[in-house]
Structure 1
Amino acid sequence: MAQERAVYTHGHHASVVQDHARRTAQDSASFLLQHIQPNHKILDVGCGPGTITADLAALVPQGSVIGGDAVESVLQQASDFAESRGLSNITFQKIDANALPFEDNTFDIVYCHQVLQHVSDPVQILKEMRRVAKPAGIIASREADYKSFAWYPELPEITRWAELYQQVAKTNGGEPNAGRYCHVWARQAGFEPFQIDATWDCWRYVGQRARHFSISWNGRILQPGFLGTAVREGFATEEEIRRISEAWKKWGEDEDVFIAIPSGQILCRKG
């Protein structure tokens, strides 16, 4: 059975999970929402804290949603969140997306968000997503493109962070610029060009949301997936990483702060 080999650069520290829990289906899956029917069966691959998953479940009152992730602690948080929303058509389970534990042709929609950039073989993940989708079903993904980020104020430490992130993420086995490759990976996974709708969207964080993002990176850059890799590989010293961490906090305190986070999106039909 195939198993994930890449290291998740962000990790599951509270600074990461709390920021991910601010995501919604509207801001993270708007390209998919118009295709959802009330009786659909949906799989959310790499669901994290489950906020997007819960939003999807609310859209399929006669259907069901399964949220899958590789980390049990975040699945418990997702389950608690769904329960707090009173959703009874949603379940969560531990999975490895390289070998999904579902029969062929099971789901109307198979979706992942910010997952393919962190795996060693994104094409294999898409093949598995395609396998478990029903004929004429939808396989959808949204992936950030770190080289395309834009931000203000342009602190030199944040520029240095962007350089280091490229090195660290690739060393950990991922592809930080996944947004620009999604449509290529879909072709390699077996989709024909006419089955792939590739689009581009962007988060733009300002004010309090940008400050939340800065606090998140103030903490997550110090976690083993980033700091540990950077120091071990000689990309940076721990002292430099800690300076960048403090710069993230300073960046978020500027009244004109903003960051734009572009993502590539694919919506594929299974033939």
Structure 2
Amino acid sequence: MNPEQPYAPGHAASQTQHHEWRTASNSAAHLLPHLHRAAQQLQQQQQATPRPLQLLDVGAGSGTISASLAQHLAPLGGTVLATDISDDILARAAAHAADVGAAGNMAFRRASVYALPFADGAFDVVHAHQVLCHLKAPVEAVREMVRVCRGGGGGGGLVALRESDLHSWCVWPETEGLRKFHRLMVATLVANGGEDRGGRKLLSWVLEAGVDREDVEAGFGAWCFSTSEDKRVWGESMISRLQSGQMRDKGLEMGITTVEDIEDMIKAWREWIETEGATLGLMNGEVIVKKN
């Protein structure tokens, strides 16, 4: 597997704007109770020679979740190493960490999820959010993340994954323009080699990677965009992607959309942002692997 498989949508502002809405609280809530418990156990078990809990965030992108996790771990002495395959997006993540005061217990390194440059069991916790659905070989990526996760004992041994399921969208008002957008988004993700049903397949990917079913907690968590600010962040990002971006270019290149269709989609998102009763719900598959 090519260790440099690119992130097909790219890291332009139009693609990452809505990513930067994400925090540990709204996008990694399934991990937080386990994370705090693991850090506390580590402190208690190693009082004589304490060491910090070490978390690896794979495919960190703009790093807003990474920085938020670092803030959760700071009082407990934990550290976060954020990785991505793009030097530019890692620089942006480092700048964000500095802006929010999270840089003190963070580090950044370029790395591919297919070939993580770390020893077996190097980290207590490994986290990835919306990474596998963009990969051509998600099972191989899971296997690599499990490899660098330390076994249980001493508070660690957790792999936390979360993936969207694009067929779980629940939007209102459900206009034709937004239906066109959804079809375009699904088609371009699949054409790029991604998986549009990643959320529902997540558990099966983990099991295919060799993890025992008894060591996995699986569930689903939702995003909800309904406040004026949340709708603005999401809707404006989708408009930007339609005005200029890989999804627009790919759709036109494939002949599955037209400039006129794109204008309809942009109009639909603008109307959605301004509609007081508008909502968007998105389902995400979630997994916690407890490595023994």
TM exceeding 0.5: yes
1:69 aligned partner, one-letter code:
D
Contact 2:239 2:269 (8 Å CA) reproduced: yes
Q: Corresponding residue for 1:228? A: 249
Question: Which of 130, 140, 143 is the matching residue for 1:124?
Answer: 140
In structure 2, runs of 5+ residues without a counterpart are 41-51
Are 1:176 and 2:196 an aligned pair?
A: yes
Distance 1:250 1:225, change over 3 A: same
User: Equivalent residue for 1:202?
Assistant: 222
Aligned partners of 1:6 and 1:76: how far apart in 2? 17
Cα distance in structure 1, aligned partners of 2:85 and 2:7: 12
Q: Deviations over 1:163-187 (max 9, x none)?
A: 2222111110000221000000000
CA distance in 2, matches of 1:204, 1:82: 25
**Which residue of the partner structure matches residue 265 of structure 1?**
286
Q: Residues 87-106 of structure 1 correspond to what in structure 2 (within 5 A)?
A: 87=102, 88-106=104-122
2:55 equivalent among 42, 47, 51: 42
**Residue 124 of structure 1 contacts residue 189 of structure 1 at CA under 8 Å; is this kept in 2?**
yes
State the Cα distance separating 1:149 from its structure 2 match: 0.6
| SS at 1:135 equivalent | coil
2:95 maps to which of 51, 69, 80: 80
Q: Deviations over 1:13-36 (max 9, x none)?
A: 213322211211011111111111
Matched, 1:246 2:267: yes
Give TM-score, length-normalised by structure 2. 0.88
Q: Deviations over 1:21-68 (max 9, x none)?
A: 121101111111111116310001111111111111122232211011
After superposition, what is the alpha-carbon deviation per residue over 1:100-140, rounded to whole angstroms, capped at 9, x for unaligned?
A: 11111100000001111111111111011001100121111
Match of 2:207 in 1: 187
Aligned partner (choices 219, 234, 250) of residue 213 of structure 1: 234
CA distance in 2, matches of 1:96, 1:171: 21
Task: Say what the alpha-carbon RMSD is for the aligned residues.
Answer: 1.6
Does the CA-based 8 Å contact 2:184-2:251 persist in structure 1? yes
Q: TM-score, normalised by structure 1?
A: 0.94
Q: Size of the alignment, in residue pairs?
A: 270
Please tell me whether the aligned partners of residues 59 and 84 of structure 2 are also in contact (alpha carbons under 8 angstroms): yes
SS of equivalent residue, structure 1 residue 201: strand
Structure 1 distance, partners of 2:220, 2:191, is: 26
1:141 Cα deviation from its structure 2 partner: 0.6
Residue 181 and residue 85 in structure 1: after superposition, are their counterparts in 2 closer, same or farther (change >3 A)?
A: same
User: Residues 49 and 237 (structure 1 numbering): CA distance in 2 closer, same or farther, change over 3 Å?
Assistant: same
1:3 CA displacement: 2.2
User: For residue 63 of structure 2, what is the amino acid of its counterpart?
Assistant: G
Secondary structure of residue in 1 paired with 2:266:
helix
Q: Distance in 1 between matches of 2:136 and 2:178?
A: 26
Q: Deviations over 1:53-90 (max 9, x none)?
A: 11111222322110111222221111112122333110
Larger Rg: 2
How far apart are residue 214 of structure 1 and its match? 0.7
Q: Distance in 1 between matches of 2:258 and 2:86?
A: 29
Larger fraction in strand: 1
Amino acid at match of 1:3: P
